[in-house]
Amino acid sequence: MGQPIADFVRDALVQRISREEIARALQKGGWAQKEITAALDAFVESELPVPVPRKRISSSPKEAFLFLMLFSTLYTAAFQLGSVLFNLIDLWLPQPGEMAQSSIVSLRYGIASTVVAFPIFLFMSVVIARENVRNPGQRISPVRRWLTYLTLFVASTSLVIDLIALILRFLEGDVTPRFGLKVAVVALLAGGAFAYYLRDLRRDEVVRPAEPGFTRSARVGVAALVGAIVLVLGVAFWFAGSPMRARLLMQDRLRVQDLALITRQVQRYYANQGSLPPSLEACDVNPATFITHKVDRVSGRAYEYCVIDATRFELGASFELPNMPEGTEYQQRGTREAPVEGEAFWAHGAGRHVFRIDAARPKP
């Protein structure tokens, strides 16, 4: 119940004005019947010369919970949906030499967050809409208005930053389709939130009876929003690949990590002894060169190790899936000979792959 109507009812009752006359006056002022009833019910019938307030249980904690849940899930769903769209743009329009794996990992996180947060946001919206019908005064709740204005601030700040970035890139002559699509995503998400909640605040300023539930236009808008998000998530699921493929890629990354560690320990052994170890077990005599994983942690097969000459050796393993950049081809049973230079060196195809490494060759 709002403070202005409560003060009016209390002052009127002090003047001994009947409840019927108070109700008629409030109706002429545009107050809803539920608000009038709640205001009059806040004071009990009494013979005392002053109105006696009825004991009420505060609904502020409940309102805080409802609106904090609503806006927190809104922020989560909006930011993660934006992340999903950004990753889809990166995968659709990749930069030359760009590895897709990091975008796919981020894409999966965004999918999971959106799938959880967005239904909770819709559910809380329905719960709050029903509460507004039962208690129209909740629409002017301080918690709700503070969080709404905070949302407007975040959305307007995002739009300002978006425009600054667009103008800056335009002046630098670097407006690419990929960048333009990301600008459009930010403008759509932030602009949509800003327009909706600004309209919501302005609607609250118009005194009129509360509408029972969602209107037809609101239902159509919600259906369109759900359809758009389901479409985006469907495309994102297709780009992210199946859970089985993700599991196989994770297993291949473990093999690459093991091979990289073996390489470092063999190079350290060579630096200490001046020669390559005859086997991987020979590295275990020194704690500084100890090799933790000499066998594939998934299949249990030993990693291949072969000394070629005084400084060069080969490491091999069998991989489930390729991790090479698009447009690059390696023979399934080929070898790679290059200095170890990070992730690019460990690109491989599916099946057995051998990497040839020169322990004496300095890293680039």
Per-residue pLDDT tens over the stretch 198-216: 887 777 655 444 444 556 7
By three-state DSSP, how is residue 294 classified? Answer: coil
Q: Write down the pLDDT at residue 208.
A: 47
State both tokens at 320. Answer: 């489930």
Q: Write down the pLDDT at residue 126.
A: 87
> In this predicted model, which residue has the larger pLDDT, 171 or 60?
171
Closest-CA residue to 144 (of 71, 59, 212, 57): 71
Per-residue pLDDT for 197 more than 50?
yes
Per-residue pLDDT for 17 more than 70?
yes
Per-residue pLDDT for 158 more than 60?
yes
> In this predicted model, which residue has the larger pLDDT, 128 or 54?
128
Q: Give the global pTM.
A: 0.62
* Residue 14 pLDDT grade (very low, low, confident, very high; cuts 50, 70, 90): confident
Long-range contacts of 239-247 (CB under 8 A, 24+ apart): 239/87, 239/88, 239/91, 239/104, 239/107, 240/104, 240/107, 240/108, 240/111, 241/104, 245/321, 246/108
* Residue 290 pLDDT grade (very low, low, confident, very high; cuts 50, 70, 90): very high
Per-residue pLDDT for 328 more than 70?
no
Average pLDDT over residues 347-361: 88
Lowest-confidence region among 42-46, 120-124, 141-145, 208-212: 208-212
**% the chain with pLDDT above 90:** 27
Average pLDDT over residues 24-38: 79
Q: Write down the pLDDT at residue 335.
A: 38
Average pLDDT over residues 221-242: 88
